Amino acid sequence: MSEGLTIKSHKGPYSVFFNDELLANPEQLLDGQPNFIVDANVARLYSNQLSAVLNRSSTLVIDATEESKSIARIIPVIEKLVANKVRRDHGLIGIGGGIIQDITCFIASTLLRGMNWKFVPTTLLAQADSCIGSKSSINLGYTKNILGTFNPPNEIFVCAAFLETLEEQEVCSGIGEMLKVHAIDSVAAFDRLAADYDALRGDRRLLMAYVRQSLLIKKQYIEDDEFDRGIRNVFNYGHSFGHAIESATDFGVPHGVAVTMGMAMANRIAVLRGLLPERHFVRMRPALRKNYARFAATGIPLDALLSALLKDKKNTSSKLVLIFPTGEDAQIGRHEVVPDDAFRDQCQMVVGEMAA
Ligand SMILES: NC(=O)c1ccc[n+]([C@@H]2O[C@H](COP(=O)([O-])OP(=O)(O)OC[C@H]3O[C@@H](n4cnc5c(N)ncnc54)[C@H](O)[C@@H]3O)[C@@H](O)[C@H]2O)c1
């Protein structure tokens, strides 16, 4: 078990515990009669280990789909919690990936004017990235992540055993966010992770060391800028393009994989616009490409991609706000781009190259 982390937030400090024994002893989660929201796949795969949680009549089991985290589908979940006589001091505990996290965090922000909540991340993406940082993001119809709050959990329990059952594409999704975080940290940090890319699959200790390191890198930024008004914006690297890819492919590409494709697009467009020396694009390409290889042939309709990019909430009224690596040290930063014909041509070229 590795040493935990403490993260500072506007609600006070909260802790990340690395607890490999959690599945052997989930009773430790039951103190205080919490209400659980559990991913349906996790409930099925871990029905024996989590029986103490799943047998509670108040536990809600929901499908982890993008539709489930739409505001319309969250209302029935709140209705069930109210019918179960939820009280503020009971607290909520989410067990699942980023979707369950977003739902639990959003409900905990608003129900009874705010409740404590805890999170047990079960995907690599949630363990290495989304579990810290306070954000909840909820969809409105097809518009992804347009509703949200800042509300950190009180405690997070990272248990590596959950990763055993993840599908390959979900492992790639988590590694995608880890590559992003390491690229933000430094050229050397990205290159180290890229060099270990193949070894990560068979070496759980190495993988968990990078999970912890990803959280440590993210910690510096979210403690400085919890509400995402400045320096934390760099964490959107790969995300403007990534969200647009998810939306244009009807969520056919997992989030963190779309982020890897988004990073590849941002890198290439940065080179085409004279912002980034080509050697950085070439340096990062093999690891990014490996991570999105099985989705490279997914058709990304250009008009749908551009229309989704135009809806990004970071944009100003006339410009796209995109995150690019720039300069000799590939520093990640914010750039405003006019969505003109030249930009459209660049996107078309890059989408074509990625599929080739
Ligand atoms: N709030 C944030 O800070 C934040 C950050 C990043 C991403 N997100 C959101 O998170 C979502 C993506 O989350 P995610 O990638 O963690 O996955 P997810 O919650 O979408 O789950 C992916 C799939 O893995 C399954 N699953 C979960 N745990 C499993 C396990 N242990 N074994 C087998 N299958 C398991 C789920 O049932 C689902 O089918 C997106 O909606 C994204 O917008 C939120």
pLDDT in tens, 315-338: 777 899 999 999 999 999 999 999
The CATH number that applies at residue 235 is: 1.20.1090.10
pLDDT at res. 143: 79
3-state secondary structure of 149: strand
Separation CA 106–CA 96 (nearest Å)? 15
**144 with 204, same domain?**
no
* Residue 155 predicted with pLDDT over 80: yes
Long-range contacts of 31-34 (CB under 8 A, 24+ apart): 32/89, 32/90, 32/91, 33/90, 34/90, 34/91, 34/92, 34/93, 34/118
pLDDT above 70 covers what percent of the chain?
A: 100
Q: Whose CA is nearest to atom 42 of ligand 1?
A: 98
Question: What is the pLDDT averaged over residues 72-88?
Answer: 95
Per-residue pLDDT tens digits for 92-104 = 999 999 999 999 9
- How many angstroms is it from 315 CA to the middle of ligand 1? 26
**206 with 138, same domain?**
no
| H-helix segments, the chain | 40-45, 51-54, 71-83, 98-110, 124-125, 168-185, 187-195, 197-202, 204-224, 239-248, 255-272, 278-292, 302-310, 341-355
Q: Which of 165, 184, 219 is the last residue of a domain?
A: 165
**333 with 191, same domain?**
yes
Q: For a substitution probing ligand 1, which of 7, 67, 70, 130 has the most ligand atoms within 8 Å of its CB?
A: 130
Q: Which residue has the tokens 């749908």?
A: 304
Q: Which of 135, 165, 195 is the last residue of a domain?
A: 165
* Residue 355 predicted with pLDDT over 90: no
Pocket, ligand 1, Cβ cutoff 6 A: 39, 41-42, 45, 64, 66, 69, 96-102, 122-123, 125-126, 129-130, 133, 135-137, 145, 162, 165-166, 170, 173, 255-256
Q: Which atom of ligand 1 is nearest to the CA of 101?
A: 1
Whole-prediction pTM value? 0.95
* Residue 142 predicted with pLDDT over 80: no
Domain that holds residue 219: 168-355
**149 with 186, same domain?**
no
- How many angstroms is it from 345 CA to the middle of ligand 1? 33
- How many angstroms is it from 328 CA to the middle of ligand 1? 35
Q: For a substitution probing ligand 1, which of 102, 168, 295 has the most ligand atoms within 8 Å of its CB?
A: 102
Domain tally, the chain: 2
Q: Whose CA is nearest to atom 34 of ligand 1?
A: 166
**201 with 333, same domain?**
yes
Task: Count Cβ atoms within 10 A of the Cβ of residue 207 and give its class: 0-12 exposed, 13-18 middle, 19 or more buried.
Answer: buried
Q: Which of 146, 165, 184 is the last residue of a domain?
A: 165
User: Looking at this protein, which amino acid is placed at residue 152?
Assistant: P
pLDDT above 90 covers what percent of the chain?
A: 88
**178 with 301, same domain?**
yes
Per-residue pLDDT tens digits for 35-64 = 999 999 999 999 999 999 999 999 999 999
Per-residue pLDDT tens digits for 270-308 = 999 999 999 999 999 999 999 999 999 988 999 999 999
Q: Are strands 117-121 and 155-158 parallel, antiparallel or unpaired?
A: parallel
List C-alpha distances in Å: 340 to 15, 266, 315.
46, 16, 14
* Residue 108 predicted with pLDDT over 80: yes
Per-residue pLDDT tens digits for 25-36 = 999 999 988 999
pLDDT at res. 1: 62
- How many angstroms is it from 193 CA to the middle of ligand 1? 22
The CATH number that applies at residue 62 is: 3.40.50.1970
Per-residue pLDDT tens digits for 241-261 = 999 999 899 889 999 999 999
**173 with 320, same domain?**
yes
**30 with 153, same domain?**
yes
- φ/ψ of residue 238, rounded to 5: 80, -10
* Residue 194 predicted with pLDDT over 70: yes
**206 with 305, same domain?**
yes
- How many angstroms is it from 216 CA to the middle of ligand 1? 20
- φ/ψ of residue 259, rounded to 5: -65, -40
Q: For a substitution probing ligand 1, which of 65, 68, 170 has the most ligand atoms within 8 Å of its CB?
A: 170
**88 with 193, same domain?**
no
Q: Whose CA is nearest to atom 4 of ligand 1?
A: 130
**188 with 336, same domain?**
yes
Q: Which atom of ligand 1 is nearest to the CA of 165?
A: 32
The model's confidence at residue 145, banded by pLDDT at 50, 70 and 90, is: confident
Q: Give bridge partners of residue 137 from the DSSP assignment.
A: 148
**275 with 157, same domain?**
no
Please give the structure tokens belonging to residue 138.
């909820």
pLDDT at res. 315: 79
